[in-house]
Structure 1
Amino acid sequence: MRTTVGEFIIDRLKAIGITEIVGVPGDFNLSFLEQVRDAEGIRFVGTCNELNAAYAADGYARQRGVGCLLTTYGVGELSAINGIAGARAEHVPVVSLAGAPPLYATEYRWAMHHSLADGDYANMLEAIAPFTEVACRVTPMNVVEEFDRALHTCLREKRPVHIQIPSDITHLTIEVPDEPFSTALASSDTERLEAAADAVLKRFAEAKDPIFLLDQDTDRHGFTEKFRAIIEKTQLPYSQLTSGKALLSERHPLFLGVYNGSASAPGVQERVENSDFLVTTNPRFIEVNSGSYTHHLPEKNIVNFGDQHALVAGEYFVGINTLELLAILLEKLPAVQAPAASEQVEVPEFVVDKQAPLTQARMWPHFVSHLEENGVVIAEAGTSNIGLGPLRMPAGTQYINSPIWGSIGFTLPALLGSMLAAPERRHVLFIGDGSFQLTAQELSTIVREELKPLIVLVNNKGYTIERFILGMEDEYNDIQDWSYAELPKVFMRDTTMKSYVARTEGELEEALQQIAKSDDGAFLEVHLDPFDAPRGLQAFGPLTAEFDYGPRGPRNP
C-alpha cells in the first residue's frame, strides 16, 4: 500500500492511542502540520513554548500510556530537552517529533537558520540522544523501519524517543505494510516463563510474611491492576515508596503505609525490611525516597518484577513478558478469605476553624477532606508534594508528580496534557507560586481548550522549599507577588473559569463548597506565611543542607 510519509506517521500515532499532538509550529514542521490538520481522529494543540509541550506530553502519557510532542529543529528541540529528560528520568513513554531542515540541505551541509551555521546536522541528535532511547532522522527510504522501531522501543522500554522529520519528505509517497501496527509486547520463552512462575510460587509457599512494595514502575509497566487482583486474592499487605504514591488505595486495610527508610511511616521500615518475600518493581532509591539512603531491603528475599525479566531470591529469569507471568501467578496463588471486619480506613473528619489563618499543618488535610474518589491529583515538587505526601488519598486517586526529576513548573503543563487525554476525570492541581511563574503561560491554553480543573495556587511569596534548605530570609528566595487570581481573565476575557482567594480556613471552606457546586473550572489562590512549611519539609531542609554543602558549608541560623 502506498501513502505519504506524513500520513504514515499520523496513522502510526493514531494506532498507539494518540489523538492530540502538543507542540509549537515552526517552518520545518508546517508541512507535517498541514497533514495533521486534514487527518481525522487526531489534532494539534499548540502550547506556549516547547518546554511546556514536553511537560504536557508527559502528563498526557500518564493517562494514555504514551504522549506526543512536535517541535522544530534546533531552537525547538533544545527548548524541549528538559521535559524530555524528565520523561526519561520518570520512565514515561513520549514520542518527540521535530521538523528538520530539508533532506538535501542536511546531506549537502548547507548553513541554515536554527543551526550553528556550520553544516553540522548531527549535533542536535547527539544532544538529545542521552535523554532518549532512540534519536534518529528519517528519510523516505528508512521511515517505515525507523519510525516503527522507535515506537516499539518507546512502548516497550517506557522511555522517550526523538525523531527528526525533514520538511521536504512529508508529502512524498512510500510503500507501507498493509497489516496494522501492533502494540503488543513479545511473548515469553515458554520454559523461562514456567520456571519463573514455579520459582515464585515455591518461595511464596515457604514465606511467613510476604509484602508488596510498590514504586512508579508498577504503574509504568502496567502491573497495577494485576497486583491489585493478586493482593485482593491473597490478602497480602502492601507498602509504597513516596515515588509510587497512591498506585493502590491508601485507605485499604492491607495498606501498611509509606516505606522511606528511617523516615518511613511508624512500623513500616521494620516490617518491610524483615519480610521474607518482598515483591518489588525495580525501585530506584534517591535521597528523597530512601530516608537519605537509610533503606536496607532484604536482597536475598526480594522477588523483583521488571518488564522483561524477574529476579527471584537471586535467580534471574530473562526472556519473559512479565504481564504473562503475573497472569499465571494470579491464577495459581492460593485465595484467602478477607476478614469480616475488613473495611476502608476512615480518615478523621476535618473540623474547620473559620477565623484561623491558613497553615501548612491544617491546610493539606482540609483539602484532602474535599477530594473525590477516582480523581486525578497533581502535586508540584516541593511544598505541595511534601504536604500531601503523608496523607491518604481517596480510593482510585491517580497521583501525578515528578519525584525523581523534580523540575519545578512541570505540573501546570502536565495538567494540560493529562486533561487533554482524560477530560472526563476530575483534576486538581496543587502548585506553588514560584513553580507557577515558570510555566504560567500554559494557563492560557487550559482556558482556551475549555478544560475545567481545580488549580490551587499556594501563595507563600517565594521558594519555601529553598528557604528551609538555605537563605530563609534572603531575597534570592523571594519572587514578585503576582495578582494570580486575575490571570484566567487576563489570558481569556470571557473564560468560564472562576477565581477564588482564601486566607482563612473559613474562606477556604466556603470556596471549596462553591467549587463543588459548579461545573466550571476554578482557580483558587491560598495565602500562607512565607516561613511556614509542612513538617516533612522542616526536617528535609536541614538534611539537604547537610548533604549538599558539607560540614563547613553554610546553614540557616
Structure 2
Amino acid sequence: MKTSIGNYLFTRLKEMGIGHVFGVPGDFTLQMLDQIEDVEGLTFVGNCNELNSAYAADGYARLNRIAAMITTYGVGDLSALCGVAGACAENVPIVFISGAPPLYAMEGHLRIHHSLAEGNFDNVMNSVREFTVAQTRLTPANAAFEIDRILSICWIERQPVFIQIPSNISYLMIDAPTQPLNLAMPESDSERIESAIALVRQYLENARRPAVLIDMDVDRTGYADALVRLVEKYRIPYASFRSGKAILSEASSLFAGIYNGAASAPHVRDIIEKSDCLFVTAPSFVEASTLQFIDQMPAERIVSIRGHSVTVGGEVFEGVMAEELINGLVDSIDARPESVVRLEAHGGEPVTIEPDLALTQKRFWPIMEGFFEEGDVILAENGTSNIAMTSVRLPAGVSYLSQMVWGAIGYTLPALLGSMMAAPDRRQILFIGDGSFQLTVQELSTVLREGLKPIIFLINNRGYTIERYIQGMKASYNDVANWDYTALMKVFAPGVESFTASVSTEGELVAALAACGKADCASFIEIHLDPFDAPEPLKIFGPKTAELDYGTRRGPRS
C-alpha cells in the first residue's frame, strides 16, 4: 500500500499498544507532530523538557510494556539522553524518535543550527548509540524495512531504540506492507527447551530447600504469571531484590521479603543463601559486594533464568525463552502441598497514632503502609523514599516503580506522568524528596494540565538526606532552598482544583490522608521531617556507600 513515512511509523506504534507519544516540539519535528494527530488513538503529550520526556516515556513503558518519545535533533536528543540511558540500564523499551535536519543538508554536510556547525551529523547518532540497542536514519528507500526492523528489536530485546527522521521526508509516500507488525516473541529451540526443562525438573525434585530470587527481568520480559504458577504449585518461597520489589505479590504467604545481601533480614538470608536449588532471575547485582555469595555458591545449586536463555548447574541453554521454560516446568511437575521452609508471618501491626507527636521516619512509613490498597501504583524516588519503602510490605496487585540501577534523582515525577497516562484508572501515589523534586518539578504542570489525579507526598527534609549519611552531614552542599511547595499547585494550574496539605505531626498526617482519600482531584501533601532523621536502612547504606566511593581511608572532613 502507499502511505507516508510518518503515518507508517505512527500507525506501527499504535499497533504496538502505544497511545501517547511524549516529547518537546522543535522545528525539525513539527510536521511529524501533525502526523501523530492523524493516527486515531495516538496523542502527542508535550513535556516541559526532553529529559522529562524520557522519564515520562520510561514510566509509561513500565505499565504499558513499551513507549515512544520524540525530540528535535541535537539539543533535544542530548537533553533526553540521560533518561534514555536510565531506560537502557533498566531494560525499559522506548522508541526514541528524533526529528533530524533535512536529508539534503545531512548528505551535503551543510552547516546548520542544532549541530556543531561543521557538517558532521554522525556525532549525535554515535552518542545515542551507546545507550540504545538499535539505531537507524530513515530515507525514502529504507523507511518501511527499517521501521519494522527497529520496532521489532525494541519489542524483543526490551531496550531503547533510536530512529532519526530527516524533517523533509516524513510526508513522502512509500510502498509499505499491509500486514500488522509481527509482535510474537521468538520460540525456543525445541531440543534446548526440552533438555533444559528436564534438567531443571531434576534439580527441583532433588531439592529440599528450593527458593526463587526475583529481579526486574521478570517484569520486563513478561514471565511473572508463569513464575507465580511455579511458586504456587510447588510451594516455593521467594524473595526479591530491591529492583524486583512487588513484581510478585508481597501479600502471598510464600513471600519471604527483600534480599539485599548481608543487609537482609536473617530469615531472608537463611531462605536464599541456604537454598539447594535457587532460581535467580537475571540479577542486576548493583553494589554486588554485598551479594557475592551467589557467585560463590556451587553451580549445581543455581538455575539462572534470563529472558532468552537459562543456565542450569553451569550449563548454558541458549535460545530458551523464560516463559516457555517455566510453564513447561510447571506442567511437568506434581504439586507440592506445602513448603518445607517455615516463613515468618508478617507482623505489621497497625500503628497507634499519637496526634501531637512530630513525624519521624521510623513511624511515618508504617503509618503509610496502612494507606496502601490493592491495585495501587506506587512510585518511590531514589534516596530516602525508595530505601524506606524496601521494608514496607505492599498489598496484592500493587505496581512499584523506582529507578534502582541508574538512580537519577528527579526521575519519578515525570515517570508519574507517564505511568498515569498508561493506567489512568489506577490510584497512583508518589513519594519524592524535596531535592529530587526541584530537578524535574516543571512536569507537575503537565500532570495537572492533563487532568490527572495523583497523590503526591513531598518529603521535605531540607536537602539531600541520603547524601548527608554518605558525606557532609551538615555541609551546605547538601542543603536545598526551602520552597513554598504546596503553593506550586496553583502556580502551575491556577484553574485546576487540587487538595494540598502541609503536615508535621501524626494527627495532621492522618487528617490529610482522610481528606485526600475523599478528594476527586490531585492531592499534594508536604511531609515535614527532621533533616538529620533517616530510615534505619539508610543509616547503614550511607556509610557503606562512602566506603565504596572513597575507600576505608576517607578524606579529613568525613
Report the TM-score, using the length of structure 2 for normalisation: 0.97
Q: 1:252·1:343 contact (CA, 8 Å) conserved in 2?
A: no
Whether the 8 Å contact between 1:264 and 1:291 is mirrored in structure 2 is: no
Deviations 1:65-105, CA, capped at 9 Å, x for gaps: 00111100000000000000000011111110010000011
Runs of 4 or more, structure 1, over 4 Å off, are 292-297, 341-346
Measured in 2, the distance between the counterparts of 1:406 and 1:550 equals: 21
Q: Which amino acid aligns with 1:107?
A: E
Matches within 5 A, 1:83-102: 83-102=83-102
Give the aligned partner of residue 18 of structure 1: 18
Tell me by how many angstroms 1:57 deviates.
Answer: 0.2
Identity %: 48
Rounded Cα–Cα distance in structure 1 between residues aligned with 2:343 and 2:535 = 32
Task: Kindly report which structure 2 residues correspond to 1:232-243, keeping only aligned pairs within 5 A, or say none.
Answer: 232-243=232-243
Name the counterpart of 2:167: 167
Write the distance in 2 (CA, Å) between the matches of 1:452 and 1:388: 22
Report SS of the residue matched to 2:97.
strand
Query: What's the offset of the Cα at 1:506?
Result: 0.4
Separation of aligned partners in 1, 2:187 and 2:385: 41
State the secondary structure of the residue aligned to 1:363: helix
Partner residue of 1:206? 206
Contact 2:256 2:343 in 1 (8 A): no
State the alpha-carbon separation in 2 of the partners of residues 204 and 38 from structure 1: 54
Tell me if structure 2 keeps the 8 A contact 1:273–1:296: no
- Write the distance in 2 (CA, Å) between the matches of 1:376 and 1:513: 19
In structure 2, the residue matched to 1:257 is: 257
Unpaired runs of at least 5, structure 2: none
Q: 1:464-503 CA deviation, whole Å, 9 max, x = no partner?
A: 1111111111111111100000101100111122111110
Query: 1:210·1:276 contact (CA, 8 Å) conserved in 2?
Result: yes
Instruction: Report what 1:36 is aligned to.
Output: 36
Equivalent residue runs for 1:514-553 within 5 Å: 514-553=515-554
Deviation track 1:268-289 (CA, whole Å, cap 9, x = no partner) reads: 22321221111111112121x7
Provide, for residues 315-335 of structure 1, a one-character-per-residue CA deviation record: whole Å limited to 9, x for no partner. Answer: 111122222222211211211
Structure 1 residue 146 corresponds to structure 2 residue 146: yes
Matched, 1:451 2:452: yes
The amino acid across from 1:96 in the alignment is F
Assess if the C-alpha contact under 8 Å between 1:468 and 1:556 holds in 2. no
Maintained 8 Å contact 1:26/1:71: yes
Deviations 1:223-256 (A, max 9, x none): 1111111111111111111111111122322112
- Unpaired segments of 5 or more residues in structure 1? none
Q: Determine the structure 2 residue equivalent to 1:313.
A: 313
Q: Which amino acid aligns with 2:97?
A: L
- Opposite residue 438 of structure 1, the aligned amino acid is L
CA distance in 2, matches of 1:130, 1:342: 44
Q: Are the equivalent residues in 2 in contact too, given 1:251–1:344 (CA < 8 A)?
A: no
Deviates further, 112-121 or 222-231 = 222-231
Is structure 2 residue 413 aligned with structure 1 residue 398?
no
**Would you say 1:507 and 2:499 are equivalent positions?**
no
Aligned length: 555
Q: Which residue of 1 aligns with 2:482?
A: 481
Secondary structure at the aligned position of 2:352 is classed as coil
CA distance in 2, matches of 1:126, 1:296: 35
* Structure 2: distance between partners of 1:553 and 1:238: 38
Q: In structure 1, what is the equivalent of residue 129 of structure 2?
A: 129
Q: CA deviation at 1:295?
A: 5.5
- Contact 1:273 1:297 survives alignment (8 Å): no
Q: Please report how far the alpha carbon of residue 182 of structure 1 lies from its aligned counterpart in structure 2 after TM superposition.
A: 1.2
Partner Cα separation in structure 1 for residue 541 and residue 346 of structure 2 = 28
State how far apart, in whole Å, the 1-side matches of 2:527 and 2:292 are: 34
Q: CA deviation at 1:18?
A: 0.5
Q: Separation in 2 of the partners of 1:490 and 1:91?
A: 36
Instruction: Tell me whether 43-52 or 388-397 shows the greater mean CA deviation.
Output: 388-397
Distance 1:41 1:149, change over 3 A: same
Cα-Cα RMSD: 1.7
Distance 2:534 2:156 in 1: 40
Q: Deviations over 1:372-425 (max 9, x none)?
A: 111111000000011111121111111100111000000000000000000011
* Equivalence for 2:246: 246
Aligned partners of 1:18 and 1:42 also within 8 Å: yes
Question: More displaced, 247-256 or 481-490?
Answer: 247-256
Aligned with 1:267: secondary structure? helix
TM-score, length basis structure 1: 0.97
Residue 499 of structure 2 contacts residue 519 of structure 2 at CA under 8 Å; is this kept in 1?
no
Please state if 1:291 is matched with 2:322. Answer: no
State yes or no: 1:442 paired with 2:452.
no
